[in-house]
Amino acid sequence: MDDDHRTYRRQFLASTFKAGAILAFGWTALAKRGLSEGKDMKQPDTAIFKDDGTIPNNRYPALLYRGVINVGRTDPATQVEEQFGANNWTNSWRNGIYPFHHYHSTSHEVLGIYRGSATVRLGGEQGRDFTVRAGDVIVIPAGVGHKNLGASDDFGVVGAYPDGRQWDLLTGKPGERPKADQNIAALPLPDNDPIDGPDGPLRKIWPSYSAVGRMADDK
């Protein structure tokens, strides 16, 4: 009986260890999968711009996502449109970026580069220059100035707007404000990041900027 008892005990411990190992492996795999999914959600660079007296800019930072869209398909423009549309950034167009400072007061805007490259100045005449390439995405808050400083011959971009909002075109001329400022202040926070949806970086970054506060690191 003692031998039988020892044999049973060994079998019991072995099966218990095996079950525990399987359970532990499952939890480890789940954790790794979660970490992997987190890593796949690329965090954008941020840049915030003060009102320069002509271009109002915005309390929210512009967001620059590097290489977030795989534009290797035959029709990359459609691919960008579909990515934005899946997250309810619609009313899209295909074109270039105007070669003069301009901004929108009635909608935020996303630009997806599907071909070529360009240097874009954000924030007005005293703003900052950014080089963007195929696969990059820029989210431009309402009021933030943007201008094309030069682009490759094959440059292509898709623009879109949260909830398909209608957009205006303002250039900092006298008389645009204070109406433009009122329009900007009244805009709701988008329901979705244009790349990663309701859980995307925009939905975490923009709410962290208060109506009057600005993060000094992004100035």
**pLDDT per residue as tens digits for the range 104-155:** 999 999 999 999 999 999 999 999 999 999 999 999 999 999 999 999 999 9
Question: What residues does 186 pair with on adjacent strands?
Answer: none
Give the model's pLDDT for residue 41.
Answer: 77
Give the model's pLDDT for residue 146.
Answer: 98
DSSP secondary structure letters along 6-65: HHHHHHHHHHHHHHHHHHHHHHHHHHHHHHHHHHHSPPPEEEEE---SSS--EEEEEEEE
Question: What residues does 160 pair with on adjacent strands?
Answer: 110
Q: Is the peptide bond before 178 cis (omega within 30 degrees of 0)?
A: yes
Give the model's pLDDT for residue 174.
Answer: 95
Give the model's pLDDT for residue 194.
Answer: 98
List the end-to-end C-alpha distance of the chain, in Å, as a whole number: 80
Q: Is 185 exposed, middle or buried (0-12, 13-18, 19+ CB in 10 A)?
A: middle
**In which residue ranges of the chain is pLDDT below 70?**
1-40, 210-219
201: number of Cβ within 10 Å: 18
Structure token pair of residue 140: 């431009």
113: number of Cβ within 10 Å: 25
